[in-house]
């Protein structure tokens, strides 16, 4: 088969497949092609590169976020952005390194940064602190998402004699820990810590 009568692939179909794959572990174009039942080279008719796929995923997320945010403002808006960001990154932890390393700066990302800057400004953060704070938030969210890939400690690997406190901590662990849930529950704590001392502006 060469060109089919009706196209097999599309940007949308590729992104769906990526989302299905990238949740757990590594993500290669070979895997993606298998998932889509095409050859690897076919993918390049729809996306420019592996990095571009991640870029498209993020663009998609920002567009959705934009409508969801509505006209919320201040700490409420910030919290929504950060949690949504964490959810997005938590879905594709294996792609986070690409997200960090490759310098894709499209209009959507600039919009997000402007919105974050404006929201933080409204909360009372001075201009000099805006970029450092945005960088910190970025690092926390991406770091936490990426950390989802880390293998958790297993009780059998520590002995009560040499690691008493670790053993005690492991003993309190429930059967099924939802690490994604924990990620969310931690974010507001961190944000509260970062924003302590700032008080709201009256106008923007």
Partner DNA sequence: ACCTGAACACCGTTCAAGT
Give me the residues that bind a second copy (CB under 8 A), please. 97, 100-101, 103, 105, 110, 113-114, 117-118, 121, 127-128, 130-132, 135-136, 138-144, 146-147, 149-151, 153, 157-158, 162-166, 168-173, 179, 182, 186, 189-190, 192-194, 196
d(CA 64, CA 166): 41
Does 12 interact with DNA (rule: CB under 7 A)?
A: no
- Distance, CA of 94 to CA of 148 (rounded, Å): 9
Among a second copy, DNA, none, partner that 172 touches (CB below 5 to 8 angstroms by kind): a second copy
Supply the minimum distance, in Å, between the C-beta of residue 6 and a second copy.
39
Q: Which does 169 bind (CB under 5 to 8 A by kind): a second copy, DNA, none?
A: a second copy
Q: Which of 9, 99, 116, 142 binds DNA (CB under 7 A)?
A: 9
Among 12, 30, 149, 177, binds DNA (CB under 7 A): 30
Q: Is 42 in the site for DNA (CB under 7 A)?
A: yes
Whole-angstrom distance, CA of residue 145 vs CA of residue 39: 30
Helix and strand numbers, DSSP H then E, in the chain: 10, 0
Tokens of 71: 């006209």
Provide the angle, in degrees to the nearest 10, between the axes of the packed helices 179-195 and 74-91: 150
Residues 125 and 201: their CA atoms lie apart, in Å, by 9
């Amino acid at each position: 088969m060469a060109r089919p009568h009706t196209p097999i692939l599309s940007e949308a179909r590729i992104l769906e497949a990526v989302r299905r794959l990238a949740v757990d572990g590594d993500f290669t174009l070979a895997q993606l092609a298998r998932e889509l039942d095409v050859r690897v080279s076919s993918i390049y008719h729809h996306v420019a590169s592996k990095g571009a796929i991640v870029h498209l995923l993020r663009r998609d997320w920002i567009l959705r976020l934009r409508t969801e945010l509505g006209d919320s403002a201040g700490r409420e808006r910030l919290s929504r952005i950060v949690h949504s960001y964490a959810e997005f990154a938590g879905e594709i932890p294996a792609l986070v390194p690409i997200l960090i390393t490759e310098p894709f700066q499209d209009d959507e990302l600039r919009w997000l940064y402007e919105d974050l800057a404006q929201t933080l400004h409204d909360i009372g953060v001075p201009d000099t602190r805006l970029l450092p704070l945005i960088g910190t938030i970025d690092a926390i969210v991406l770091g936490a998402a990426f950390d989802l890939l880390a293998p958790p400690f297993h009780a059998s690997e520590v002995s009560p004699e040499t690691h008493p406190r670790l053993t005690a901590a492991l003993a309190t662990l429930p059967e099924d820990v939802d690490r994604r849930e924990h990620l969310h529950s931690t974010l507001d704590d961190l944000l509260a810590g970062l924003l302590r001392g700032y008080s709201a502006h009256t106008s923007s």
